[in-house]
Structure 1
């Protein structure tokens, strides 16, 4: 629920200065001049190209929040509405937004998941288990926002602070009790989650990603650590200690209650451990999970409907976060058994005699992990693995050869194609991926196919009975960004189309052979 807040009160919170009538009240806040309703507070932030203050004339806002540069622009433009001027808008925007929207996270149990890989899967596992436990659940993340599984239109993995706080307020109004959200390093660094009280923070892992935004891996780690250490830290933490970054994060979180989880047999100190008992032909895994802390200590067996050791780690982390929230593990895990995560090791079955999978993996470590999972599924057979892989433009260029290397080390066929080239030359991006692949495994069958649809055709046509093929990089996404235009493209649709075409061709060939006989 929103309330009318005076600029005088917001100045106290932000340590800002009011230029004009300090008794002016606002009932909303936003960064988009085109959508902010009348009577709101327009946050005019500095941009990479244009300062947001230049759009203030387009909004019906009652007042404007800006910095000294924005104040200069507005004064020169003859702006007469009250201004709230602060030194760093992002540093206070979350707190200002929370005040305007009535501090909704004080009325919600917020479970934040951060890390390089596994955030979306862990959040879906949490949502499924919490819903099964009878709770009303909101979900905010890469695949969008949902309230009790009903979609809510939003953008960004973690929305900007005003949108996020308004969304929390809506969830309170609709009776939501628990919110599961992915928390990106960008969101932490840019202050989008300031003003949000996290009941539980979860850490998955850390590997190379976003080094176009973070200058070093250490800086990347420090951004993630904000959820576990310092003024933004969650009340309780659950940390996967399967890598060195996780062990460091557990130490950083030690000022507050922290629970550790692991899938390693050597990690005897972990509070929650999980191990695979068996894998079924469907790809589901039988898992034993042991909780050694709290009132729900005990051993629990469940079926995880997704393959891969990394998904066992995600399930262990989700269970730990549920336990930290007071949820009984057995009830929670009954919900986990029914989960389906779009674009994460998602099998596409059109009756073909080989495994076909689409996955969101767009980091070197994630590509290696999904290939290891496919190889394990083929264990004991002579099946081969083919992969379609690319890399995004206008992003961390050092990751590109590493993507190619991870693919070539784990697959028999590597088809390098376009992902989201954005404003870069697609051929130069492919060249970097190809170079990494060829250096890592000169013996591998490595091909270049610029068209993503034709690349998928190529790997499907290559596959024989008993093989496995995977398309990585986009997962659930339904668009490909070329230049500044988004074209409809869904790897799952394209895989299904390619499989149907291959099945039709095979059937026609079989029919012709029979007729000739």
Structure 2
């Protein structure tokens, strides 16, 4: 799928410099002046990128300090590819000068933020032309985004969505490289959406994206907060730092309106500090009565298909609503989505109907194999934090007449402190545990499993009904074979993800596919045994 518009509105270098507040235009090498003698400031820019491999003629290339190398080290490569100019910091300018890169260079103190503003200008500020909704939070971003988009379709003929699962314009979609794409890609996608008749779109906004200015230059019609739970503390260090990153989405000039779930303390803190119009949502009976919209009754869906709930609006009127997914967590996601869609201009009745009619979200309480007289129910869920794992297991327990079998692990190179905590939760809430690998990345998989096992042993010192199986594809098959007709088998942590990262290598892998392959073998064995 093309990630840019066919024809960008474009801008010249002087206009970009004014937008980003660049102090000076530096000329690098004898070829940096225009061949026709024109001023370098009049250089036309027709695109933007921060990926040296994606440079096209006429692009502005953003060169940032990276975790390993500075983007300016690719200066000669992007010049050869046709880049028209570079936006970087002082250190990047020095690198470009040392390599005699023959391009005009804009130098700014904060190139990440400036690149977002520059891309917005080059692509004609597309976020301002769409009803654009941004969703942030630890858990529920993807589900809530899909629910909002479903509600927006009640009012808009053509919509778009960007997030953890996919990048989609109308019916055209590709796998997403990350939760929130880099700013130039975001603005380019929005511009292409605008050109193709999209009038409303939704994006997930990760805390990393906010902290690294991937939403710079964007103006959201509505910014949405779902919750804040223990995650990413390897990056943000503290929960307050984590909230600070999320709060950037709600700054004046970044979003026009806010919808905030105040079920947890962090939502209440955020609601107390935002300076834009804010609607507060409460979805749990034990939440403080500080909300404009409140769920007063819920049936979490004992049939496992969906949930029903009743809520009151700011005027106190009562409304009946449904979620297409089971569990209290999806009552919360649905309630927030209804309010967000309504804040984005969708009539309330349409918002309620749109969320109720939302389609299944890949990897979110996804029922892969239905319960039968020979098979257990098999579910895939993305739960990868302590709170999400708790909600997932508590959510499926009421629809499990037999045993609850959990297949799970934890990520490598990420917050190590949550591993034993998740082990304790698993031991408390699941009947049978199949401990395996998630995305070990550069860590030794056995060491990750050992940390989880420590938590399990706090609850089950003898490790009864705990099985350690790797690789993950075999763990899924093992867990499914343990299942009986009344049992529920749930594999958590990866959800929709199409790959597994081991020792820096990405292997094609998906939990749903692993279930289906294992089930096909089990069925074949049954049929073979009957012959």
TM-score higher than 0.5: yes
**Which of 5, 15, 19 is the matching residue for 2:26?**
19
Unaligned regions of 5+ residues in structure 1, if any?
A: 513-517
1:496-511 aligned at under 5 Å gives the runs 496-506=516-526, 511=530
User: What is the rounded CA distance, in whole Å, between the counterparts of 2:317 and 2:119 in structure 1?
Assistant: 42
CA distances 1:445-471 after superposition (whole Å, capped 9, x unpaired): 222112111211221222222111100
Distance 2:119 2:300 in 1: 49
Report the Cα offset of residue 248 of structure 1.
1.3
Report deviation, 1:292: 2.8
In structure 2, the CA distance between the partners of 1:137 and 1:218, relative to structure 1 (3 Å rule), is same
Calculate the TM-score normalised by the size of structure 2: 0.90
Aligned pair partner of 2:438 in 398, 402, 419: 419
1:32 aligns with 2:51: yes
CA change 1:154–1:488 in 2 (3 A) is: closer
SS at match of 1:273: strand
- Indicate if the aligned counterparts of 1:132 and 1:332 stay in contact, CA closer than 8 A: yes
Asked if 1:371 is matched to 2:393, the reply is: yes
Distance 2:259 2:386 in 1: 25
* Residues 1:184 and 2:198 aligned together: no
Query: Whole-Å Cα distance in 2 between the matches of residues 358 and 370 of structure 1?
Result: 10
Residue 14 (structure 2) aligns with? 8
Cα drift, residue 418 of structure 1: 0.8
What is the TM-score of this pair, normalised by structure 1? 0.93
Q: Give the deviation of 1:413 after TM superposition.
A: 0.9
Contact 2:300 2:326 in 1 (8 A): no
Contact kept in structure 2, 1:438 and 1:446, CA below 8 Å: no
Aligned residue pairs total 503
Which residue in the other structure is 2:265 paired with? 244
Moved more, 200-209 or 258-267: 258-267
Shift of 1:373: 0.5
| Equivalent in the alignment of 1:515 | none
Q: Secondary structure at the match of 2:153?
A: helix
Q: More deviation in 325-334 or 112-121?
A: 325-334
Query: Bigger shift: 105-114 or 327-336?
Result: 327-336
Please list, as runs of the form range in 1=range in 2, the aligned pairs for 1:326-341 lying within 5 A after superposition.
326-339=345-358, 340-341=360-361
Structure 1 residue 81 and structure 2 residue 87: aligned?
Answer: no
5+ residue gaps, structure 2:
1-6, 28-39
Q: 2:149 aligns to what?
A: 127
Out of 101, 122, 125, the residue aligned to residue 100 of structure 1 is 122
Superposed, which structure 2 residues align to 1:215-364 within 5 Å? Answer: 215-228=237-250, 230-231=251-252, 233-253=254-274, 255-266=275-286, 267-274=288-295, 275-277=297-299, 279=301, 281-293=303-315, 298-339=317-358, 340-349=360-369, 351=372, 352-364=374-386
Between the aligned partners of 1:183 and 1:224, the Cα distance in structure 2 is 8
Q: Distance in 2 between matches of 1:109 and 1:415?
A: 44
Equivalent position SS for 1:422? coil
Aligned-residue offset at 1:140: 0.8
Paired with 1:422 and 1:162, the residues of 2 have a C-alpha distance of 27
Report the more deviating stretch, 202-211 or 258-267. 258-267
Distance in 1 separating the partners of 2:425 and 2:434: 13
Q: Structure 2: how far apart are the matches of 1:55 and 1:69?
A: 13
Correspondence for 2:34: none
Deviation at 1:201, TM superposition (A): 0.8
